[in-house]
């Protein structure tokens, strides 16, 4: 991963980052990207939000927009987490 841009946003108490990465195969998942950003920036994965993974069709590179918050409270104030927990498949009821 290569850091393209880093901006300090003091209003929201966060860093806004743009990375560029190259890969082989499929586009990396958000969890994989969070893990690699946390290793690079030495911050917790819980404080990182991936906004966008932009890949040009056919290219093996992607541009990633991410935010790193300073505290979990700031993250909860600003970001809306839409991910719902997955439901387990229920067995059909016997009659």
Q: What does the pLDDT look like over 49-62, one tens digit per residue?
A: 999 999 888 888 99
pLDDT digits (tens, 9 = 90+) for 5-44: 999 999 999 999 999 999 888 888 889 999 999 999 899 8
CB atoms within 10 A of CB 95: 3
| 95, pLDDT greater than 70 | no
Cα torsion 77, 78, 84, 85: sign? negative
CA 21 – CA 33 distance, rounded (Å): 9
More confident residue, 56 or 89: 56
- H helices of 1-95, in order, are 30-41, 72-78
Phi/psi at 72 (5° precision): -65, -30
CA 1 – CA 4 distance, rounded (Å): 9
Contact 19, 63 (CB under 8 A): yes
């Amino acid at each position: 991963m290569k850091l393209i841009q880093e901006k300090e946003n003091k209003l929201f108490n966060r860093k806004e980052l743009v990375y560029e990465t190259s890969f082989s195969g499929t586009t990396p998942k958000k969890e994989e990207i969070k893990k690699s950003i946390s290793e690079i920036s030495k911050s917790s994965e819980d404080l990182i939000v991936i906004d966008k993974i932009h890949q040009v069709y056919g290219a093996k590179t992607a541009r990633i927009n991410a935010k790193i918050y300073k505290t979990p409270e700031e993250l909860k104030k600003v970001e809306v987490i839409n991910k719902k927990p997955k439901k387990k498949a229920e067995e059909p009821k016997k009659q």
